[in-house]
């Protein structure tokens, strides 16, 4: 089984991924954190290279301000990931621990991330279990219900102790490319001859769709002397970030746009209104996109530009 899996991986694995071509623990760590809630293609093509351009080393990340990091994390969502990256960087400065046990002590690093860094950066002989690998193990050993603890135990029993890193990567790619949540391409699977669940594959396939929640949000566009009002987020989701304030009046609608976030379908409405909040930060309009704001707020930028243009036209007429 190990031989069949590794032979398939050599021919079909995702070897071109940039974090697969390095043993730099910081780079691998960063990729693993980004990939937790974001598609591989988006991380590979955009977020990963841009973030490393701004913070090429763990020391650069540690020395940066949290506000700066959050502004460069914008678009990835789940901002606690960026906060924990910063905490971990400040506690490390130069070198990563080289074992799973020590990695688990870092902020925001759990069982999976510690195992992944230990395996992919330091070739430690530990099993790695993400959603893809757990799915492969469930089907391979015909375990319809498998807790995370049981999955880890099973992964350790199945681990290739002669080549643990490639084994973990191969299982990950198998789950991402062949043995997916909605489809099992058994005819292409190197483990098909050994699979105990292949004749009952329908019970493993994910068909239920998550129900989307429709929600409206209302924000004020308040500009004074080419500065726009922003307010610190009061919630935990956008902690340490800035949002547009709440409008006092909803009479002057400037426009609306859509934004999807996890299970939410949001409709955002923008108003030319003074803010309700007293706690405001006034940012130069030209620096709006560089401020620590989430993508939800960045999408308001075209409306702000249009508002400023129309305001200038009115001033010229006067």
pLDDT in tens, 3-55: 999 999 999 999 999 999 999 999 999 999 999 888 899 999 999 999 999 99
Decide if pLDDT at 208 tops 60: no
Burial category of 199 from C-beta neighbours within 10 Å (exposed 0-12, middle 13-18, buried 19 and up): exposed
At 171, list the tokens.
């299982």
What is the CATH topology of the domain spanning 2-204? Endonuclease III; domain 1 (1.10.340)
* Spans of all domains in the chain: 2-204, 213-317
Of 147-161, 205-219, 290-304, least confident by mean pLDDT is 205-219
Per DSSP, 233 falls in state -
User: Beta-carbon neighbour count of residue 17 at 10 Å?
Assistant: 16
Which CATH code, of 3.90.79.10, 3.30.565.10, 1.10.3720.10, 3.40.1160.10, is assigned to 213-317?
A: 3.90.79.10
Where does the pLDDT of residue 236 fall: very low under 50, low under 70, confident under 90, or very high at 90 and above? confident
Give 90-141 pLDDT, tens digit per residue: 988 667 889 999 999 988 899 999 999 999 999 999 999 999 999 999 999 9
At 243, list the tokens.
């949002």
d(CA 175, CA 191): 12
d(CA 91, CA 286): 35
Going from the C-alpha of 59 to that of each of 49, 279, 306, the distances in angstroms are 17, 33, 40
Contact call for residues 270 and 245 (beta carbons, < 8 A): no
Contact call for residues 25 and 96 (beta carbons, < 8 A): yes
Q: Which helix (H) or strand (E) holds 186?
A: none
Sign, Cα dihedral of 293, 216, 266, 285: negative
Cα R_g (the chain), whole angstroms: 24
Active site residues: 32
Contact call for residues 276 and 248 (beta carbons, < 8 A): yes
Q: pTM of whole model > 0.95? A: no
Where does the pLDDT of residue 268 fall: very low under 50, low under 70, confident under 90, or very high at 90 and above? very high
How large is the average pLDDT for residues 277-286? 92
User: Fold identical between 2-204 and 213-317?
Assistant: no
């Amino acid at each position: 089984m190990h031989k069949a899996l590794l032979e398939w991986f050599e021919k079909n694995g995702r070897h071109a991924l940039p974090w697969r071509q390095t043993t730099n623990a910081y780079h691998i760590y960063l990729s693993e954190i980004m990939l937790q809630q974001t598609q591989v293609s988006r991380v590979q093509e955009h977020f990963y290279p841009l973030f490393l351009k701004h913070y090429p080393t763990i020391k650069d990340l540690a020395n940066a301000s949290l506000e700066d990091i959050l502004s460069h994390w914008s678009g990835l969502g789940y901002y606690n990931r960026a906060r924990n990256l910063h905490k971990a960087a400040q506690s490390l400065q130069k070198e990563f621990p080289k074992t799973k046990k020590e990695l688990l002590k870092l902020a925001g690093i759990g069982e999976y991330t510690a195992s992944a860094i230990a395996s992919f950066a330091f070739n430690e002989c530990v099993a790695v279990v993400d959603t893809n690998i757990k799915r492969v193990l469930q089907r391979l050993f015909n375990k319809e219900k498998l807790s995370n603890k049981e999955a880890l135990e099973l992964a350790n029993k199945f681990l290739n102790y002669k080549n643990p890193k490639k084994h973990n990567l191969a299982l990950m790619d198998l789950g991402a490319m062949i043995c997916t949540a909605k489809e099992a391409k058994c005819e292409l699977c190197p483990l098909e001859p050994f699979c105990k669940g292949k004749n009952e594959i329908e019970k493993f396939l994910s068909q239920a769709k998550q129900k989307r929640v429709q929600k409206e949000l209302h924000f004020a566009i308040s500009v004074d002397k080419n500065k726009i009002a922003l307010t610190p987020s009061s919630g935990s989701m956008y902690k340490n970030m800035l949002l547009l304030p709440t409008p006092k009046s909803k009479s002057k609608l400037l426009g609306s746009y859509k934004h999807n976030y996890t299970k939410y379908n949001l409709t955002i409405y923008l108003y030319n209104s003074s803010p309700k909040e007293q706690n405001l930060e006034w940012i130069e309009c030209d620096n709006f996109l560089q401020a620590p704001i989430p993508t939800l707020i960045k999408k308001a930028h075209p409306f702000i530009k249009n508002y400023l243009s129309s305001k200038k036209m009115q001033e010229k007429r006067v």
